[in-house]
Amino acid sequence: MMDWTDRHCRYFHRLLTRHTRLYTEMVTTGALLHGDVPRHLDFNAEEHPVALQLGGSEPADLAACARLAQQWGYDEVNLNCGCPSPRVQRGAFGACLMSEAALVGDCVAAMREACALPVTVKHRIGVDRQDSYDFVRDFVGTVGQRGGCSVFIVHARSAWLEGLSPKENRELPPLRHEFVGRLKADFPDFCFVANGGVASDAAISGHLAQVDGVMVGRHAYHEPWALASWDAGFFGAPVPAEAESREHAEAGMVAYLSRLHGRGLPWATASRHMLGLWNGTAGARRWRQVWSDHRLKALPPTEVARQAAAARRAGQRAAQDVTA
Residues 6+ apart with CB under 8 A from 10: 22, 24, 43, 44, 47, 50
The verdict on 28 and 132 lying in the same domain is: yes
Is residue 166 within a helix (H) or strand (E), and if so which, with residue range?
Answer: helix 166-169
238 versus 94: the higher-pLDDT residue is 238
Residue by residue, what is the 3-state secondary structure of 34-59? HCCHHHHHCCCHHHCCEEEEEECCCH
Of 215, 239, 263, the last residue of a domain is 239
Tell me the pLDDT of the chain averaged across its residues.
93
**Centroid of chain to Cα 289:** 25
Domain contains 268? yes
**Centroid of chain to Cα 259:** 24
The verdict on 155 and 274 lying in the same domain is: no
- Distance between terminal CA atoms of the chain? 42
The verdict on 60 and 161 lying in the same domain is: yes
Of 207, 239, 271, the last residue of a domain is 239
Domain contains 71? yes
pLDDT of residue 71: 98
What confidence category does residue 320 fall into, taking pLDDT thresholds of 50, 70 and 90? confident
Q: Where in the sequence is the domain holding 262, given as residue range(s)?
A: 245-323
For residue range 143-189, what is the model confidence (pLDDT) as tens digits? Answer: 999 999 999 999 999 988 776 666 676 666 889 999 999 999 999 99
The verdict on 231 and 255 lying in the same domain is: no
What confidence category does residue 28 fall into, taking pLDDT thresholds of 50, 70 and 90? very high
Least Cα distance to 179 among 151, 161, 149, 155 occurs for 155
**In terms of pTM, does the model score above 0.85?**
yes
Other beta carbons within 10 Å of 101: 23
For residue range 231-284, what is the model confidence (pLDDT) as tens digits? Answer: 999 999 999 999 999 999 999 999 999 999 999 999 999 999 999 999 999 999
Of 224, 239, 254, the last residue of a domain is 239
What confidence category does residue 223 fall into, taking pLDDT thresholds of 50, 70 and 90? very high
Domain contains 270? yes
The phi and psi torsions of 247 (rounded to 5 degrees) equal -60, -45
The verdict on 139 and 255 lying in the same domain is: no
What confidence category does residue 26 fall into, taking pLDDT thresholds of 50, 70 and 90? very high
Residues noted as catalytic: 83
The verdict on 317 and 292 lying in the same domain is: yes
Number of domains in the chain: 2
The stretch 290-310 carries a mean pLDDT of: 97
The verdict on 95 and 153 lying in the same domain is: yes
pLDDT of residue 164: 62
